[in-house]
């Protein structure tokens, strides 16, 4: 199944709809979808190294726009979704304290977690329900998501042939490691907050 998905993404890279699909995944990941855009960005970039910077731009813009939707979910759906997240983080007795500390240290959360494989939707929704500054949330999201995806683009542009060889030979191992990193990201997010 993973091999078929990988081959489908490689084939998609040559189609005009490729940037739209990548943008849709990046947008959704920042607000509600559990799969990071890297699963599309990496195969597309190694398949089309001539478009790696274009793909990084699309991923960054779509991720930030999706992040704004995630922020809105946290800010506007606090009574339903916000309460659920507070329970997940075990903050029922200290929600006000949490909001105050997020107001003070939220920039570090956004900066550090925006660069990592920790699911960004957790950052966007948390920023919204903590009422973190929308202006600074947007600026920091542009910086961190841009840095992450353009750094990845630089690596893929430089080492894309070697990376494609590793993916072609060891796709299942790479997929298993990726899933483990995503799960670890959820765990670390909960521990740090």
CA dihedral 20, 175, 191, 112 (to 10 degrees): -50
Q: pLDDT, tens digit, for every residue of 122-136?
A: 788 888 888 899 999
Place of tokens 């990845």: 152
User: What's the whole-model pTM score?
Assistant: 0.77
pLDDT at 27: 93
Mean pLDDT of 41-51: 85
Specify whether the backbone of 112 is left (phi greater than 0), alpha (psi in -120 to 50) or beta: alpha
Q: Which of 30, 31, 51 is nearest to 41 (CA)?
A: 51
**Is the predicted pLDDT of residue 176 greater than 70, yes or no?**
no
Q: Measuring CA to CA, how many Å separate 55 from each of 9, 46, 128, 158? A: 13, 11, 27, 15
Q: What is the DSSP letter of 81?
A: I
Task: Return all residues near 54 (Cβ < 8 A) that are at least 6 apart.
Answer: 19
| 108/161: higher pLDDT | 108
Q: pLDDT, tens digit, for every residue of 72-119?
A: 988 888 777 666 766 766 656 656 666 777 778 778 878 877 776 667
**Is the predicted pLDDT of residue 40 greater than 90, yes or no?**
no
pLDDT at 69: 93
Rg (CA), the chain: 17
Q: Measuring CA to CA, how many Å separate 178 from each of 7, 119, 165? A: 17, 12, 17
**Is the predicted pLDDT of residue 66 greater than 90, yes or no?**
yes
In this structure, what are the phi and psi dihedrals at residue 17, rounded to the nearest 5 degrees? -80, -5
What gap in Å lies between CA 37 and CA 45, rounded to an integer? 12
What gap in Å lies between CA 155 and CA 179, rounded to an integer? 21
Q: What is the DSSP letter of 33?
A: -
What gap in Å lies between CA 161 and CA 23, rounded to an integer? 24
């Amino acid at each position: 199944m993973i091999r078929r998905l990988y081959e489908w993404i490689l084939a998609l890279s040559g189609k005009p709809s490729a940037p739209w699909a990548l943008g849709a995944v990046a947008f959704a990941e920042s607000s509600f979808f559990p799969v990071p855009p890297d699963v599309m960005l990496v195969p597309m970039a190694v398949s089309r190294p001539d478009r790696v910077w274009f793909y990084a731009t699309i991923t960054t813009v779509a991720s930030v726009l999706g992040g704004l939707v995630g922020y809105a979910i946290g800010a506007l759906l606090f009574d339903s979704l916000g309460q659920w997240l507070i329970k997940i983080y075990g903050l029922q007795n200290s929600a006000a304290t949490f909001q105050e500390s997020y107001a003070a240290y939220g920039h570090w959360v956004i900066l550090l977690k925006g660069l990592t494989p920790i699911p960004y939707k957790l950052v966007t929704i948390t920023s919204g329900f903590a009422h973190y500054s929308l202006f600074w949330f947007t600026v920091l999201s542009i910086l961190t998501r841009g840095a992450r995806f353009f750094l990845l683009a630089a690596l893929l542009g430089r080492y894309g042939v070697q990376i494609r060889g590793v993916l072609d030979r060891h796709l299942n191992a790479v997929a298993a490691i990726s899933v483990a990193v995503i799960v670890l990201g959820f765990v670390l997010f909960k521990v740090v907050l």
